[in-house]
Amino acid sequence: MSQTMDFRSDNVASVAPEIMAALERVNHGTVASYGGDAISQRLDGLFSALFEKSVRVFPVSTGSVANALALSVMTPPYGAIYAHSLSHVNGEECGAPEFFSGGARVVGLEGEGGKIAPAMLERALASSGKGFVHCAQPAALTLTQSTEWGRVYSLAEVAALSAIARRAGLGVHMDGARFANAVAGLGCTPADITWRAGIDALSFGATKNGALAVEAIVLFRTELADDLAFRHKRAGQLASKMRFFSAQLEAYVADDLWLKLARHANRLAKRLGEGLARLDGATLVAPVEANEVFVDLPRSMVDGLRTEGALFFGWPEPWVDSPTIRLVTRHDMAEAEVDRLLEVAARLATQVRRSA
């Protein structure tokens, strides 16, 4: 569809050709099921190389499962999980963290740009009643990278939050549904922004950035793997034909495909953000650091964009009245798709100015 201007999310995207090709490639002959196949067997090695550390990897089918399972091996049923108030863990998983942990509590914390403010974490821990039997016990911190505002935690920011968490005995998890975009944005190594900065477990996202349907839980604290193996099966995540999940992951990280795809999406977001920032009436409400653009627009412009066929959501929730819209770029987005939206927006901005 030549007219596509779809900025709803990166999960409206297609599967990257390299990944589809990998699925075709492994689709012959018979292999051991439940992860006994050769590709699944080499995942630990593959990710250990990628992260420059011996890790354990568990493929899962969705990001919600990745987060909830990873947190479940750090959190007792009476534990508390600290998450940004805007995070998926806190607000978009219909109680999955509670379900997988057996009843833990998610505590929403504030902080600008979807990043937890260190002071907020410290305050929450100070008033948590740690060791006091009447209170849910601080157990885990989860950071969304990149954040729900398209922001990226710097290495120093992750390290600072991890340090606070560790002093309080918490495990530290990173929700990396858009990990590739964050790493591409930072230009660092995957190791730097994870375990070297204090992360114990990562939800390594792939679906939004070109996979068909797979995420990986990467455990940097490999002693958690025995527990996770059983929870993973019990959650129905041990796929019988695991090769088709593992092959996606293998193709995704081969030859830095994941970073190439993310860099493309990030570049388009940058282009989109810069283009919008130049328009009268448009105000970027967050720096563009990954593949999302947040912009305040006059109502008439928002309506006009929709009339012209642009797809996107209001922010923070579709059902909340707000001048802010979210525009997400994708691995499979053509530059022309961005330019089309900018063109329409520019036209609308002119009209707004005239009618003002």
Residues 202-221 binding a copy of itself (CB under 8 A) are 207-208, 212-213
Parallel/antiparallel/unpaired status of strands 105-109 and 79-84: parallel
Residues contacting a copy of itself: total by CB under 8 A: 80
Site mask for a copy of itself (CB under 8 A), range 277-316, x = bound:
----------------------------------x-----
Residue 356 as a binder of a copy of itself (CB under 8 A): the answer is no
Near a copy of itself by CB under 8 A: residue from 9, 48, 85, 222: 9
d(CA 352, CA 346): 10
Q: Are 245 and 20 in contact (CB under 8 A)?
A: no
Main-chain dihedrals φ then ψ at residue 150, nearest 5 degrees = 70, 15
Shortest distance, CB of residue 227 to a copy of itself, whole angstroms? 7
What are the strands of the beta sheet with 137-144, ordered from one edge? 56-60, 215-219, 201-205, 171-176, 137-144, 79-84, 105-109
Residue 30 as a binder of a copy of itself (CB under 8 A): the answer is yes
Q: Are 68 and 97 in contact (CB under 8 A)?
A: yes
Shortest distance, CB of residue 30 to a copy of itself, whole angstroms? 4
Residue 355 as a binder of a copy of itself (CB under 8 A): the answer is no
Cα-only R_g, the chain:
21
Residue 225 as a binder of a copy of itself (CB under 8 A): the answer is no
Near a copy of itself by CB under 8 A: residue from 53, 166, 221, 241: 241
Q: Are 104 and 97 in contact (CB under 8 A)?
A: yes
Which span sits near a copy of itself by CB under 8 A: 102-110, 112-120, 290-298, 348-356? 102-110
Residue 91 as a binder of a copy of itself (CB under 8 A): the answer is yes
What are the strands of the beta sheet with 313-314, ordered from one edge? 283-284, 292-296, 324-328, 313-314
Amino acid letter for position 204? F
Residue among 182, 230, 180, 228 at smallest CA distance from 201: 228
Sign, CA torsion 195/199/202/205: negative
Residue 274 as a binder of a copy of itself (CB under 8 A): the answer is no
Footprint of a copy of itself on 140-199 (CB under 8 A): none
Nearer to a copy of itself, 156 or 223 (CB): 223
Residue 338 as a binder of a copy of itself (CB under 8 A): the answer is no
Cis peptide before 127 (omega within 30 of 0): no
Shortest distance, CB of residue 181 to a copy of itself, whole angstroms? 15
Residue 83 as a binder of a copy of itself (CB under 8 A): the answer is no
